[in-house]
Structures are given as structure tokens and as C-alpha cells.
Structure 1
Amino acid sequence: MTFRMPPEWAPHERTWMAWPGPNPTFTNDEELAEARVAWASVARAVRRFEPVTVVHGPGQGEGARELLGPDVDLVERELDDAWMRDIGPTFVTDEDGRLAAVDWVFNGWGAQDWARWEHDSKIARHVADLAEVPVLNSPLVNEGGAIHVDGEGTVLLTDTVQLGPGRNPDWTREQVEAEIHAKLGTTKAIWLPHGLAGDYGMYGTQGHVDIVAAFAKPGTVVVHSQQDPAHPDFVRSQTYVEILRGQTDAQGRPLEVVEIPAPTVLRDEEGDWVDYSYINHYLCNGAVILCGFGDPNDEIAANVFRDLFPEREVVLVDARTIFAGGGGIHCITQQQPAVRGTR
């Protein structure tokens, strides 16, 4: 039985999210309250287009309901953090349209000092149980934000995640590819050397690809393009474009590369380089939920996505609070594909 990961633009049954709770990512009550408002804004935006289930920690359901409204489904499970893309399962389907869930090993983004994962390492299995689908266990330390597929055999990866010392120090590139292909049904991996500069600071993932590049359709990939030479991502984004323009996908097509200009802001309030990126969007049924930054380039990015997805509504949601915690809209959402007999 062969499973494959459908592309994100394929129809969804629902979206899964996790509710922010007290943890090292949010250093005080004010930050936690702001995070909950931001997560709720994303959940409500997605809920306009498809069902949403939010997993919350014990005793947090009432507060979550107040912010999420009556239309979002809630379930209670023990949680450490709130990044469902990474702690949740990667859903895959077989040739008969049956659904399963890949449970990668999760170790706090490479066993980082601040991270906790006692409960988050079990969330993928909890979500699979709630979705009533079988689990495919993987020995690979990996997260959902570290992969992106086109649904036709191609997957994007980064050296500093799958081959990083905190995740899979004893694995070769060939071994990683073999396991990724076995679980996702892919046949070709395109490797980028690293992620954006800001993703290596506190709360960073050490190079997730979903903030760098993503397939928009088979043969087409959107790429983060930092326009200001003062930012370290100026050179990095040129590297990504050069690599991807020299690649073909699993079907032998040369990749069309669409550069998405980064927001104009370069540093956060603490003076650190930002990794604000429009690439970290989420495709749900009928919409593109796009990171907004209160930036002049927000509308430029929105227009690019309108051209790429003319049949979808582009919805901008302020993602600055989410990025302050270490990720974006894609990082806090996880799609469950629709299967035969559903949407």
C-alpha cells in the first residue's frame, strides 16, 4: 500500500490547530494573551472556508471558546506549545483514497534548550486518533514545516533541519531522502542549504523550508526575496532562487520561480533581524490565508497570490505576533485532506 502527501491546494476535510498555553515561547501573561488573539484571528479566518479543530490544554477551553467563537471545534489534550504544523501529523492518502497520518519524531526543533516536548511529541497520535485514521510511525526527527510537496513527487527540504546535529546526526542525505519518500510518496528531493537568518535565533526552527519556498502548483514555486542588501537574507534569497531555477521537478519540468518581495521592515523592536515572510501562507478551501505585517508590501504580495490563485480569496491576517513567537500562519495550521465521499 503506497501513501502520498497531497498538495496543500487539494481539498481539505478540516484544519487542525493548537491553542497557546503558558510555556517558554510566551514570557509573560501579556504575550500569551496577545498570542491567543493572534491564533484566534487565524482560526476564525480559516473557519470561513472549512471546519477547524483547535486542541487546547486542560482548563483552557472556556477562554479559547470566548476568542474563537461558537463555530470552531475544541478538544482537550495536554500540550507544551502551539505549533500544530510541527507537532501534528502529516496526513497522507493511498491510491484508494484512504487517509493515514505520519507521526514523525518530534524533539523540540532539535532539542533546543528552551523547548519542552513531553506532551507535544504525542500530539500527532492524538490528532490521528481524533481523526480516526491509522498512524504511520517514522524514526526520522522532522516537522511539518520542514517539508513542502507538489503532490506529484517533489519535496523541498533544507540541510540544516533534516541533516542538523540536533535532529538526525547519524543519518546520511540518502537515508533521509529514502524515509521522506517512503512516507510522503515523493521521488525527488530538492535541498536548500539553510533557512532565513532570523530562523536561527531564539525560538527559531533552525531552517524550516515553509518560510523560504513553497509550491504554488506543480512546476511553480514561490520564493522569499529580500530586496534590501542590508539584510542577511538578501544573499540567502538569491541563493534559493539560483538553486531552484536550476532544478527540475519529479516530472522533469524546469521549475518556474516566482519571487515574493519580503516586507520592508528589517529588524524587530529588539533590533534583531526579522524573518517576516509571505511564503508562510496557508491554503484552505477557497482561500489563501496570507501573513500580513502592516507593511507596504502586504498588498504587493497579496496581488501575486491573487494571480497565482485566481479562484481563491486572499485573506490577510496580521502575523507579527505569531512571528515573534517563532513562526507564521503556516506554522500554526495543519490540513487534513478530504478523501472520497467527503468534501
Structure 2
Amino acid sequence: MTYRLLPEWYPQDGIQLTWPRPDGDWAPLLARIEATLERIVIATARYQHVLICVPDELTKQRLVDTFHAYGVPAECLQLIVAPTDDTWARDHGPIIVVDEDGQLLLLDYTFTGWGGKFPAERDNLLTQWLADAGAWACPVSSRDLVLEGGGIETDGEGTLLTTEACLLNPNRNPSLSREDVEARLGEDFGVDRVLWLANGHLEGDDTDSHIDTLARFCNPSTIAYVRCDDPNDPHFPALAAMEKELQAFRQRNGEPYQLIPLPWPQACFDPEDGHRLPATYANFLIINQAVLVPTYGDPADITALHALAVAFPEHTLIPIECVSVIRQHGSLHCLTMQLPQGTLAATAIC
């Protein structure tokens, strides 16, 4: 059976979120991150459903009441109590493919907390937990490959965009060569081209240069990417080299990609210990008829929205303030996983 990895702009049933545990890493910022997640839910529920994994029944009932008060239709939400470690649904959520007959398959990859940096045992079991809870309308297939959703981008037409620093990192699959990884990606995703970026990183990023922090497909011929325009910034050399790599990439027809540079926000630093935080506008989320865009209270926010309006002329752009999110070294896209049309069971869709 041949499968194809679906691009993010494929029609969606909804998105998946994982609500923070009150005793987890978000505890010092719990009210702030919950406010951000609430904004994501309210914005998304205008267009599609939201599946939320919650840590306990008390949180579930509180969120039911909260979203009712905000006017979010109850039928747009599905809340399921499940044990979790953290909130990064992009990396512990399912990666979904489709076969020639249009049947979906949820691929459940091994999640190790970005190469063993953080606890991930519960998050690694979450996709199967949701299957047992009746959330999915299609089967789940486990994979022993260590892979996170934020580490890959596809055009939906057989091309994958990724970074060497992540997928070839020995903290993921140390026994696999580049050729081995490409073979596994080809088998699972139906891709026959892998575009590898050798350059690009963000300080404060725990993921070893996930592609969704650096460069994103907006459609099969367009890539939006972060550009550093400050020669004095330590990111400048690597991101300039990444830009040259993107300029050298070619579409399947031999044409260069339309490249849309995203602006460089002013440096953000953690207020407690002063380390730099990974603010990036590439971490946007495509949903049905809209694109949610992370913002940071920075003058470059408006420039980023204008740039992405060019990339998504038929979508509504919705800014989501993510200053609190980068305090835990991720952003908007990292918190979410899109669920293509046909993923959610009827009971989940309501």
C-alpha cells in the first residue's frame, strides 16, 4: 500500500491541543499559557473543531465552562482526559497519511523529548490513548522511528523539507544513515525528494533546528522562511547560508521556489536568567480558511502579517500573541497538530 503525507493546507476536521498540567513545566506561567491556548481555541473554533487533551476532570469542566462563557460552540470542542508530560502536540501528535483510495492512517512515531532532553513517556503514548478513547476515525500504526511533526514539511506532492541538524542528529536515530532516513521517509510518506537544509538554527530552541521554526511550505511552489537582517546578530551567518540553500532549491519542474522572507523580531530574552528565546514568525498554523500567526509585541509583527498575506491571499490571518509560549522554547505551531478531514471520529466531531 502506498501512502502520501498530507500538506497542512489539506482540508481539516480540526486541530489537536494538549493542555498544560498544573504541576508541569508551565506551572510558573500557567495563567499566561492558558490565556494563549484559549485564544487559539477561540480562533480555530470559528472554522473547525478542536480536540483537547486535558490533565484531569477538574480542568475539563473548567474549560467547558470557560469556553461556554466565551461563546465557543460546544459541538466544536472535544475534551479528553489523558496523562501527558507537556503541551507540544506538534511533536507528540499523530502524523497522518492517505492511501490511493483516500483512506487515512495515523502514524504514531516514537517521541523521546527531542532526543532525551525532557521526560516524554506519557506523551509518547498519547496517540494510542486517544485511539482507545475513541477519538480517531482511522487506524493507528506505530513506528519505531524517532520523529517529531515539527521536524518535517511537505508540499503534498512527494517533496519533503527538513534539516540535517534534527533528522540526522545522533540523539534521534543513531543507527540510521542519511540514506536510511530517506528510505524510511519515502516508505512512510510516499516522498521521493528530500530537501535538506544544512544551515539555520535559533538560540533557545530545544528541538535541534525543527524546520517549522525556520522555513515552511505555504503551497507547493512557495516557501516562507526567516531572514536575519542584522549582521551583528549571532544568527546572521547561519541564516544567510540557509537563505542561499533555499534559493538553490528547485521545484520538481526545475523552477526555483517563490521565497517569502519573514522579518527578524528584536531579540527576546528570558526575564529570569537572560537566555535568548526562539521568537520566529515561521511557526504559523494553517487551518481551514485561516492562518494563525505568532506575534511577539514587536514592530516586526505587522511586517510578518503582510508577508504571510502574500503567501495566503485567500486566508484570513489571525495574530496570536506568543510571548509566553517562547518562554518554554516553542511557539504557536509547536503547540498544535492539524487533523486532516476524516481523522476525527463522529463522536469527537459531534
TM-score using structure 2 length = 0.90
Structure-2 separation of matches of 1:22 and 1:163: 34
2:124 is aligned, of 121, 126, 143, to 121
Q: Write the mapping of 1:232-311 to structure 2, written as runs, cut at 5 A.
A: 232-269=234-271, 270-311=273-314
Say if 1:166 and 1:22 are closer, same or farther in 2 by CA, change over 3 A. farther
2:45 equivalent to 1:47: yes
**Aligned residues of 2:137 and 2:342 also touching (Cα < 8 A):** no
Deviations along 1:131-159, one digit per CA (max 9) or x if unpaired, are: 13112322210100001111011111112
3-state DSSP of counterpart to 2:325: helix
Q: Write the mapping of 1:78-227 to structure 2, written as runs, cut at 5 A.
A: 78-112=83-117, 115-128=118-131, 130-193=135-198, 195-200=200-205, 204-227=206-229
Q: Which residue in the other structure is 2:60 paired with?
A: 61
Moved more, 10-19 or 248-257: 248-257
- Give unmatched runs, 5+ long, in structure 1: none
How far is the alpha carbon of 1:126 from its aligned partner? 2.9
Structure-1 separation of matches of 2:158 and 2:24: 37
TM-score using structure 1 length = 0.92
Return the letter of the residue paired with 1:264: Q
Structure 1 consecutive aligned stretches of length 4 or more whose deviation exceeds 6 Å: none
Return the letter of the residue paired with 2:143: S
2:316 equivalent to 1:313: yes
- Give unmatched runs, 5+ long, in structure 2: none
Moved more, 232-241 or 204-213: 232-241
Structure-2 separation of matches of 1:67 and 1:209: 34
**Aligned residues of 1:23 and 1:81 also touching (Cα < 8 A):** no
Deviations along 1:53-82, one digit per CA (max 9) or x if unpaired, are: 111112321233344445322111111111
Paired residue total: 335
Could you say what the CA RMSD is over the residues aligned between the two structures, in angstroms?
2.0
Return the letter of the residue paired with 2:127: A
Structure-1 separation of matches of 2:204 and 2:141: 29
**Aligned residues of 1:97 and 1:339 also touching (Cα < 8 A):** no
How far is the alpha carbon of 1:43 from its aligned partner? 1.7
**Aligned residues of 1:140 and 1:176 also touching (Cα < 8 A):** no
3-state DSSP of counterpart to 1:257: strand
Moved more, 221-230 or 67-76: 67-76
**Aligned residues of 2:84 and 2:122 also touching (Cα < 8 A):** yes
Structure-2 separation of matches of 1:231 and 1:64: 41
2:9 equivalent to 1:9: yes
**Aligned residues of 2:296 and 2:323 also touching (Cα < 8 A):** yes
**Aligned residues of 2:305 and 2:317 also touching (Cα < 8 A):** yes
User: Percentage identity across aligned positions?
Assistant: 31
2:330 equivalent to 1:327: yes
Structure-2 separation of matches of 1:67 and 1:83: 22
Say if 1:211 and 1:205 are closer, same or farther in 2 by CA, change over 3 A. same
